[in-house]
Amino acid sequence: MIVKIPEYIQSIEPYKPGKPVEELAREYGIQHAIKLASNENPLGPSPMAVQAISLALSNLHRYPDGRGHDLTVKLSCRLGFSPDHFVLGNGSDDLIGMLTRALLQPGDEAIIPKPSFLMYEIDVRSAGAIPVHVPLRSLAICAKDILERVTSRTRMIFICNPNNPTGAVMSRNDFKSFIEVLPLGIVVVVDEAYMEFVRDPDCVNSMEFIHGDRPVVALRTFSKAYGLAGLRIGYGVMAPELAGILHRIRQPFNASLLAQVGAVAALEDEAFLNKTIQAVHEGLNYLYAELDRIGIRYFPTQANFFLIDAGRNADMVFENMLRKGVIVRSMSSYGYPEYIRVNTGLPEENKRLIQALEQVL
């Protein structure tokens, strides 16, 4: 193929999602497998969202509302920001791409904790900008280490809170101290995809800093706690001036009709949200106790997933777990060659996970 591809695009490693259950059935002939690799909601989608989507199916011949009026107004009332603070996305991944396209130029630098969500680096490189990695400390993002890497070329900083894949959080005091001394004009993108599961009262909520003089963008999603991962719907909260810039470059119908309808209904489904959070916390407590019992090292989390130290090659553990019908995530691509990541499932799925781990490890 005689097409000139920019070097910064060629340098990108493709994102590798968790293995689907259907693929496991095709490759191994294993039926009734369980997937605990992609941090999905074990209870499924919000029932109210499913009902609302069913009623909206007859409108599939219509384009969605490009500005997402109903969902934006619902979020505005719930979170206390005016509607012009919101931008909807095809998942929060879409917003990460918008931010990097709009704000980064070739040669600019964006600071990314490592390891963290892999899409940050992909989108930074796609803009021709330079990812600057800051290693974690004890699996957590260190604000002081980030500040030490800030230069005159820094334009953006990513903070995943709770961090994926470690589940650690940044405290409000640490974030406040960090933001107060950060040079003006650097956009801080705080990805809070797992915020609903946090139990630590000291964890920072970045929305408290939206009105400050440093530009902070808070990203949230309906994929996890609300169980709408298949619809791909997320949103960003930011200063209206910055939101206006993103509205200039986003795809005109980037949030589908069904995604918007489902998200509006999911926000009303408080019972399902509370049930999800309770199930995740009970699942974590069970898994911690069982891993303590069998002597397998793990790292407590503030998200719905956590890391397990397999003590051996994580890719091999991943393959052996597949043969038991349990899909987990190897962390070798994140720089942890002996760690796996698992998310909580239903009680029976959590029991299968422990049984498979005992046999494999």
Residue 25 confidence class, pLDDT cut points 50, 70, 90: low
Cα 49 from chain centroid (whole Å): 21
Q: What is the pTM of this model?
A: 0.94
Place of tokens 């005016």: 82
- Token pair, residue 177, equals 């101290």
Q: Is residue 9 within 8 Å of residue 27, measured between CB atoms?
A: no
Name the maximum alpha-carbon separation found in the chain.
Answer: 59
Which CATH fold would you assign to the domain 47-268? Aspartate Aminotransferase; domain 2 (3.40.640)
Cα 276 to Cα 14: distance, rounded to the nearest angstrom: 31
Q: How do beta strands 34-35 and 298-299 pair?
A: unpaired
3-state helix, strand, coil in the chain (%, to 5): 45, 15, 40
Residue 19 confidence class, pLDDT cut points 50, 70, 90: low
Q: Is residue 360 within 8 Å of residue 317, measured between CB atoms?
A: yes
Query: In the chain, which ranges are continuous DSSP H helix?
Result: 7-10, 21-28, 47-56, 69-79, 92-103, 119-126, 143-148, 172-181, 240-249, 257-268, 270-294, 314-323, 347-360
**CATH of segment(s) 7-45+271-360:** 3.90.1150.10
Which region among 5-9, 107-111, 310-314 has the lowest average model confidence (pLDDT)?
5-9
Count of all residues that appear for the chain in the document = 361
pLDDT digits (tens, 9 = 90+) for 228-286: 999 999 999 999 999 999 999 999 999 999 999 999 999 999 999 999 999 999 999 99
Cα 156 to Cα 186: distance, rounded to the nearest angstrom: 5
Q: Is residue 179 within 8 Å of residue 188, measured between CB atoms?
A: yes
Average pLDDT, the chain: 95
Axis crossing angle, helix 69-79 with helix 257-268, rounded to the nearest 10: 30
- The single-letter DSSP state of residue 40 is -
Model confidence at 347: pLDDT above 60: yes
DSSP assignment string, 123-147? HHHHTT-EEEEEE-BTTB--HHHHH
Q: Which of 132, 135, 155 is nearest to 144 (CA)?
A: 135
Cα 188 to Cα 141: distance, rounded to the nearest angstrom: 14
Strand segments (E) across the chain:
34-35, 86-89, 109-114, 130-135, 154-160, 187-191, 216-221, 234-237, 298-299, 305-309, 326-327, 329-330, 339-343
Cα 57 to Cα 309: distance, rounded to the nearest angstrom: 45
Q: Which of 220, 228, 196 is nearest to 45 (CA)?
A: 228
pLDDT digits (tens, 9 = 90+) for 149-173: 999 999 999 999 999 999 999 999 9
In this prediction, residues 30-55 reach a mean pLDDT of 94
**pLDDT number for residue 209:** 98
| Three-state secondary structure call for residue 361 | coil
Place of tokens 């909601």: 41
Nearest-Å Rg of the Cα atoms of the chain is 20
Cα 156 to Cα 33: distance, rounded to the nearest angstrom: 41
Model confidence at 72: pLDDT above 80: yes
Q: Which of 72, 73, 97 is nearest to 246 (CA)?
A: 97
- The single-letter DSSP state of residue 203 is B
Domain ranges of the chain: 7-45+271-360, 47-268
Q: Is 121 left (phi over 0), alpha (psi -120 to 50) or beta?
A: alpha
* Alpha carbons within 13 A on the beta-carbon side of 70: 16
pLDDT digits (tens, 9 = 90+) for 55-65: 999 999 999 99
**pLDDT number for residue 1:** 55
Query: For residue 314, with 0-12 CB atoms within 10 Å meaning exposed, 13-18 middle and 19 or more buried, which class applies?
Result: buried
**Percent of the chain beyond pLDDT 70?**
96
